[in-house]
Amino acid sequence: MMHGTFRTLGLAAGLVVVVGTVSSVFTTLVVPRATSSRLLRSISRVLARAVHRPVRLLRTYEGRDRLLSLIGPFAMILLFAVWLGLLVVGFGLLVWWDSGTTLAHALAVAGSSVFTLGIVSAPGRAAEAVEIAASGTGLLVVALEIAYLPTLYGAFSDRETEVTLLATRAGVPAWGPEVLARHHWFRTTGELPDLYRTWERWSAAVAESHTNYPSLMWFRSPVPWRSWLTGLVAMLDAAALHDALDPGSAPRQARICLQMGVNTLRSLAQALHIEFDPDPLPTDPIRLTYEEYLSGIARLEEVGFPFERSPADAWPHFCGWRVNYEPIADALTRAIVPPPAPWFVPRPWLGEVLGPRVRDRTPDDPEGGRPAGP
């Protein structure tokens, strides 16, 4: 009697595991919405915490970045393995309920079926039906996982193209004031509206791809000091600074880029279940200090960037913009650990914050005596 009760409980548990796993696969790989697999979030965060201590033992940021770059791909592969493992357990419990065999043999039958090997079977018509269902489900899940990879890496490649192009305009690591400084210094300020427009569309594409496939957030750029997050925040800071300092001449695309970028960060926060204030006041405090802000102003003054407002008068307007995206950017920084960058959350354990620098090397001044960085 007791043995039959355990098998009945196993039947119920097996149904819950199979249905839950299939639902997780379906919502993660098939449904084009920001459903965000709880299992994927959990795996990624556990891996990020697991490498935190080893990262501290490495001497250079480049070495730390190589270790951190394993989190995204390994989390994805581990997610695939966990799905298949759960299917084996779930179908194994279903086979155990009817076949009369031991639990170990039932799991072997389920494993043989899920991986479509067909080398182990169990007696009973219900067990045969479960084996057929397990084979079909396992084949479907493996096929979806294989099809998932090209989509994932296609979205990754599209994202990194603009991040790479931004390096010459915003420095490495990317920094908002550097965007404005270089365009003014190189006399290409007329290209800023197109740049804002490009990053508006980039933000929309990232919002669509990274909420549907949140594992992409942990995929790091091929170059250690580049990051999609530092690039996005740099463009938002550039647009906010531009509008705050030069409200009369700043292109309207700057505000549109800001709005789209904020919407993107909020979509990513919702996908990862990060809490944020959806309607902060422009007067709410921000983490960035006035002294840090002045370091960006100094970079603009170095190249003679024109100001319609004084830096002191522009500060509250800049804060009014940054309060919309800074808390989410800080939360994402703690989750995905981008490279150290100016105006980001300080992380001394990760490495020293290096401001982007460029020297104006000419035949008359081959050493580039005039530094272009902070």
The answer, yes or no, to whether residue 360 has pLDDT greater than 70, is no
Average pLDDT over residues 192-212: 95
- The answer to whether residue 345 sits within a structural domain is no
Give the C-alpha separation, 80 to 333, whole Å: 26
Mean pLDDT of the chain: 88
- Residue 196 in any domain: the answer is yes
State whether 143 and 240 are in the same domain.
no
d(CA 74, CA 54): 16
Is the pTM value of this prediction over 0.95? no
The pLDDT tens digits of the residues spanning 229-277 come to 999 999 999 999 999 999 999 999 999 999 999 999 999 999 888 999 9
Residue 363, Cβ density class (10 Å: 0-12 exposed, 13-18 middle, ≥19 buried): exposed
pLDDT number for residue 305? 96
Q: Give the count of beta carbons closer than 10 Å to the beta carbon of residue 353.
A: 16
Same domain for 74 and 19?
A: yes
- Per-residue pLDDT, 372: 44
Distance of alpha carbon 148 from alpha carbon 36, whole angstroms = 15
pLDDT at 1: 46
Check residue 250 and report its DSSP letter.
S
Are 295 and 199 in the same domain?
yes
Q: How confident is residue 374, by pLDDT bands cut at 50, 70 and 90?
A: very low
The answer to whether residue 106 sits within a structural domain is yes
**Whether the predicted pLDDT of 373 surpasses 50:** no
pLDDT, tens digit, 9 for 90 and up, residues 86-98:
999 998 888 887 7
Q: Are residues 142 and 291 in the same domain?
A: no
Lowest average pLDDT, out of 2-16, 25-39, 213-227, goes to 25-39
Same domain, 319 and 240: yes
Q: What is the DSSP letter of 223?
A: S
Q: Indicate if 6 and 134 belong to the same structural domain.
A: yes
> Does the pLDDT of residue 123 top 50, yes or no?
yes
Which string of DSSP letters, residue by residue, matches 330-341?
HHHHHHH-PPP-
State the DSSP string of 48-66.
HHHTHHHHHH-SSHHHHHH
- Whether 273 is in a domain gets the answer yes
Please determine, for residue 362, whether its predicted confidence score (pLDDT) is greater than 80: no
Same domain for 137 and 275: no
Q: Is 36 part of any domain?
A: no
Average pLDDT of the residues in 26-37: 69
CATH code assigned at 132: 1.10.287
Confidence of residue 129 (pLDDT cuts 50, 70, 90): confident
Answer yes or no: is 285 within a domain. yes
- The reply to whether 113 and 182 lie within a common domain is no
d(CA 138, CA 185): 59
Domain boundary among 85, 115, 147: 147
Q: When comparing pLDDT for 288 and 215, which is higher? A: 288
- Contact 174/355 with Cβ under 8 angstroms? no
45-68 confidence digits (pLDDT tens)? 788 778 877 888 888 888 889 988
pLDDT bin (cut points 50, 70, 90) of residue 71 is: confident
Q: How many residues does the chain have?
A: 374
pLDDT of residue 2: 47
The answer to whether residues 306 and 189 belong to one domain is yes
Last residue of a domain, which of 114, 147, 180? Answer: 147
pLDDT range class, residue 99, cuts 50, 70, 90: low
Domain count, the chain: 2
Mean pLDDT value of segment 351-365: 72
What distance in Å separates the CA atoms of residue 148 and residue 169, rounded to the nearest whole number?
Answer: 33
Average pLDDT over every residue of 69-94: 89
CA distance 75 to 51: 12
Looking at residues 125-142, what average pLDDT do you find? Answer: 84
Please classify residue 231 by burial: count the beta carbons closer than 10 Å to its beta carbon, then call 0-12 exposed, 13-18 middle and 19+ buried. Answer: buried
* pLDDT of 36 over the 60 cut: no
Question: Do 178 and 323 reside in the same domain of the chain?
Answer: yes
Check if the beta carbon of residue 325 is closer than 8 Å to that of residue 261.
yes
CA neighbor of 128 nearest in space, from 101, 159, 155 = 101
282 and 187, same domain (yes or no): yes
Residue 71, both tokens: 């989190």
For 305-351, what is each residue's pLDDT tens digit? 999 999 999 999 999 999 999 999 999 999 889 999 999 999 888 88
Query: DSSP letters along 303-332, please?
Result: TT---SS-HHHHHHHHHHHHTTTHHHHHHH
Q: Which two tokens stand for residue 267?
A: 């979509």
Q: How many whole angstroms from its chain centre is CA 315?
A: 29
Q: Judge whether 346 lies within some domain.
A: no
Q: Are residues 263 and 141 in the same domain?
A: no
pLDDT at 300: 96
Query: What range does the domain containing 136 cover?
Result: 2-31+69-147
Q: How does pLDDT run across 153-185, given as a tens digit for each residue?
A: 899 999 999 999 999 999 999 999 999 999 999
Q: Which residue, 113, 132, 147, sits at the end of a domain?
A: 147
Find how far residue 284's CA is from the centre of its chain: 26
Q: So what's the pLDDT on residue 23?
A: 87
